[in-house]
Amino acid sequence: MLEPEGAIQTTGTWGLAARAGDMLFVAGMRGIDPQTNQLVDGDEARIRQAFTNMLHIAESAGAGPEDAVRLVVYVTDMYRYRPIANQIQEEIWGDGPYPPRTIIEVDRLNQDDIFEVEGTFYLGGR
Amino acid sequence: MLEPEGAIQTTGTWGLAARAGDMLFVAGMRGIDPQTNQLVDGDEARIRQAFTNMLHIAESAGAGPEDAVRLVVYVTDMYRYRPIANQIQEEIWGDGPYPPRTIIEVDRLNQDDIFEVEGTFYLGGR
Amino acid sequence: MLEPEGAIQTTGTWGLAARAGDMLFVAGMRGIDPQTNQLVDGDEARIRQAFTNMLHIAESAGAGPEDAVRLVVYVTDMYRYRPIANQIQEEIWGDGPYPPRTIIEVDRLNQDDIFEVEGTFYLGGR
């Protein structure tokens, strides 16, 4: 299990990420500020923070955004949050290529949050 | 990232599939006609198309239905669409063995669609 | 595909688990009693059974709880079932480390069930 410096603190019965050979499985990340361990204010800022948290953990294992091989994005309002997720993914992945992504609107996330992204990374591509 | 000929066109910030060593991760596929990039009409035809789209991408990487090692099926009505998914999986996988599957009813899919299937394939079994 | 003795019986178009090299992908498990193939009564008992079913399959492939590299937990009521899931994970994983987990409240599970857990295990860590 990975617990890199600067990552959010896990407060429950889960870990941030686990390696399996050349694969890195990161837990679903939400927009929690690692400084305060509180949710970031503002939809866009919070969604950006979720990606940042995921990529920070990946980076600690030597993986960058281009090593993402699978994303699942959970939102609580497809029309409201999908465009923001798209915008932030453009900031991160630029002209691409983009990782495969599945996006779903669900009933509820932990802490009644609005957005969660789960990423899988490949460490053997370098 | 894979962009095989004859596959649907991605129109957003996502790719169709990515390889990670012997693993192939395909993005959630819906029943979009690759000729027109529009949703197919009819529940059964649309659900069949979603599987077809997934398997087409897998095929382009050298994987068949029997190489699927994980499926997640998202429906917007469990009672209505699960039986159709089962029927189409029977068409594809016949007497089995069948891949492990998790099926969930969610609030909403992109484009207010009814069905999405996300598949992971193993390329090292041949 | 794995069909270990003592596991639940699959009754539809899905398998219990599949290996992919050193990875083991287990289908979403619910609290079905493998003796009767019926849902277990009681929230806590049913959720414990879901984990038991998952771990039984993993064990048959040589993997223990500490080899879990990814969990996705689906509940139909976050406030009601997440604390129970946490408690049972404490029983299983003790002081940790805990596998990365993503937890989501969804509209509906098969058989109108309350809880499902999908696990991925790494067989190469031993």
ipTM value? 0.96
CB contact under 8 A, C99 and A16: no
| Model confidence at A29: pLDDT above 90 | yes
pLDDT of residue A50: 98
Chain B residues with CB-CB distance to A106 below 8 A: 106-107
CB contact under 8 A, A102 and B116: yes
| Model confidence at A69: pLDDT above 80 | yes
| Model confidence at C125: pLDDT above 90 | no
Per the CB < 8 A criterion, the answer to whether C73 and C115 are in contact is: yes
CA-based nearest residue to A32, from A45, A44, A49, A15: A49
pTM for the model: 0.97
Query: Residue A2's pLDDT band (boundaries 50, 70, 90)?
Result: confident
| Residue whose structure tokens are 């529940």 | B43
Nearest to B107 among A68, A70, A105 (CB): A105
Residues B46-94 have pLDDT tens digits of 999 999 999 999 999 999 999 999 999 999 999 999 999 999 999 999 9
Phi-psi region of B22 (alpha: psi -120 to 50; beta: other; left: phi over 0): alpha
Residues B15-46 have pLDDT tens digits of 999 999 999 999 999 999 999 999 999 999 99
pLDDT of residue C98: 97
A1 — contact with chain C (CB < 8 Å)?
yes
| Residue whose structure tokens are 């983009």 | A98
pLDDT of residue C48: 98
Tokens of C38: 């019926």
| Model confidence at B108: pLDDT above 90 | yes
The whole-angstrom separation of Cα A120 and Cα A14 is 16
Residues C37-80 have pLDDT tens digits of 999 999 999 999 999 999 999 999 999 999 999 999 999 999 99
The whole-angstrom separation of Cα A76 and Cα A115 is 7
Chain B residues with CB-CB distance to C9 below 8 A: none
| Model confidence at C126: pLDDT above 80 | no
Query: Residue A3's pLDDT band (boundaries 50, 70, 90)?
Result: confident
CA distance A13 to chain C (A): 6
Average pLDDT, chain B: 96
Strand A23-26 to A115-122 pairing: antiparallel
CB contact under 8 A, B100 and C17: yes
Residues C68-115 have pLDDT tens digits of 999 999 999 999 999 999 999 999 999 999 999 999 999 999 999 999
Nearest-Cα residue of chain A relative to residue C84? A13
What is each CA distance from A99 to A120, B66, B111, C62, in whole angstroms? 10, 24, 20, 32
| Model confidence at B126: pLDDT above 80 | no
The whole-angstrom separation of Cα A110 and Cα C102 is 9
